Amino acid sequence: MQHNLLLLTLILLGLVAAINCAAVSAAPPEIDFYKLYDNPEAHISIKDRRTTRDRIAAHGYPAEHHHIVTEDGYIVGVFRIPYSHKLQNQDKIRPVVLVQHGLTSCSDAWILQGPDDSLPFLLADAGFDVWLGNGRGNTYSRNHTSRSPQHPYFWRFSWHEIGYFDIAAMIDYALKTNGQGQKAIHYVGHSQGTTVFFALMSLRPEYNAKIKTAHMFAPIAIMTNMENKLVRTVGPYLGHRNEYSLFFADQEFIPSNNFLLSLFSNLCEPDYKLRPVCENVVQKLYSGSRVNMTAMPDGMATHPAGCSTNQMLHYLQEQQSGHFRQYDYGPQKNLEIYQTEVPPDYPVENISSQVHLWYSDNDNMAAVEDVLALSDRLPNMELHHMEDPLWDHGDFALNLEVRKYLNEPVIKIMKKFDQM
């Protein structure tokens, strides 16, 4: 490989030298460079990024994009598949389902595997009214009634506020917009999508009455036994209120750059000229893995979707403390907010809704011991252990057989509940 590169370099240098010599010995030709290079077929233009709505509609499903204002002024973008074009069931009762993404992710993550395997499409084809949430700060939720995302105050939130305000607003809005008089929804969350559910249902227990069944994929609350090496490495530094965490706090994680995001999107979108570049990168990164390789380029086109650094700090605090508790602002501010120097634990015993915990042995983010410790405190839960010993954190989203081992069983549980 190195010899080939050296040869190519020498050839290029030779060409440059030849061109320079020719330029010295010959009169410059009259060339209309504008006509020569103004060839539309030769251009690689930056196209607008596709939204979740565009991706859903591309498969023939009806798609809607809604903007919901939370109690504290954030405007979150939510997408909806109101019915199935295959069933034409728009005039029938369609139970509401809210599906919530994980950290640094967005609604796009749920539909990357297409209509044959992705949970939202399968839900729609099973007769549900499907809503795909986006937590504040990500690609689709970068607006506020009075704050700009350019201002640091915009980013003063953790996943606590996503649960307490955003998920609550999504539930209420979806039930109202459905217009069929329904009083409760089904909920699905992956990773952080489970954490925000636990936070909301613990502190606003009245929302438990608005939940039929809740499905927690790779549930994260207690993090004592988490094996993720990066978390364990940085936890001692950023998982406490100190000069390191203060420097990292209250800002956007990887500030959004529209040009770069559009560039990544154009690299990885189907039928775009540079798609082979993205596919080659994916093959190198995920060679031999069990993820859906067809979906991975679309994943690279849409992720990371953005978040606040406080969301990460909050998780690191959980890992260091061994508690599932509220954000630690330091003793002085904790006294002002909580009336105690140490943040209070989330009272998960208040979660009375039917919670299904889907967990696995090979998940380095949601350790089995931590899931079981949480389950002991939940009054109405059911454990679902993934039998595949290699099933990991990402498999809950992109495993090749996610339809068979996860999505279809979840839909079966929902339909059974609705038939009771």
CA torsion 308→313→314→318, rounded to 10°? Answer: 150
Other beta carbons within 10 angstroms of residue 178's beta carbon come to 18
Give a three-class secondary structure readout of 235-256.
Answer: HHHHCCCCHHHHHHCCCEECCC
Q: How far apart are CA 133 and CA 129, in angstroms?
A: 13
pLDDT tens track for 287-344: 556 777 677 767 777 888 999 999 999 999 999 999 999 999 999 999 999 999 999 9
Cis amide leading into 331 (omega within 30): no
Domain ranges in the chain? 53-220+347-419
Please indicate whether residue 50 or residue 414 has the higher confidence score (pLDDT).
414
Query: What are the Cα distances from residue 347, in Å, to 16, 34, 130, 330, 418?
Result: 71, 69, 29, 21, 28
* 213 phi, psi to nearest 5 deg: -135, 145
Which residue intervals of 52-95 are DSSP H helices? Answer: 52-57
pLDDT tens track for 78-110: 999 999 999 999 999 999 999 999 999 999 999
Q: What is the pLDDT of residue 258?
A: 61
Please indicate whether residue 62 or residue 3 has the higher confidence score (pLDDT).
62
The HSE-up count of residue 164 (CA atoms within 13 Å, CB side) is: 12
Any idea which of 34-38, 70-74, 183-187, 366-370 has the lowest mean pLDDT? 34-38
Which sequence positions are flagged as catalytic? 191, 363, 393
Q: Would you call 152 helix, strand, or coil by DSSP?
A: helix
pLDDT tens track for 40-82: 444 445 566 789 999 999 999 999 999 999 999 999 999 999 9
CATH architecture of the domain with range 53-220+347-419:
3-Layer(aba) Sandwich (3.40)
Q: What is the pLDDT of residue 369?
A: 98
Sign of CA dihedral 348, 354, 360, 363: negative
Q: What is the pLDDT of residue 13?
A: 36
Other beta carbons within 10 angstroms of residue 414's beta carbon come to 22
Q: What is the pLDDT of residue 32?
A: 52
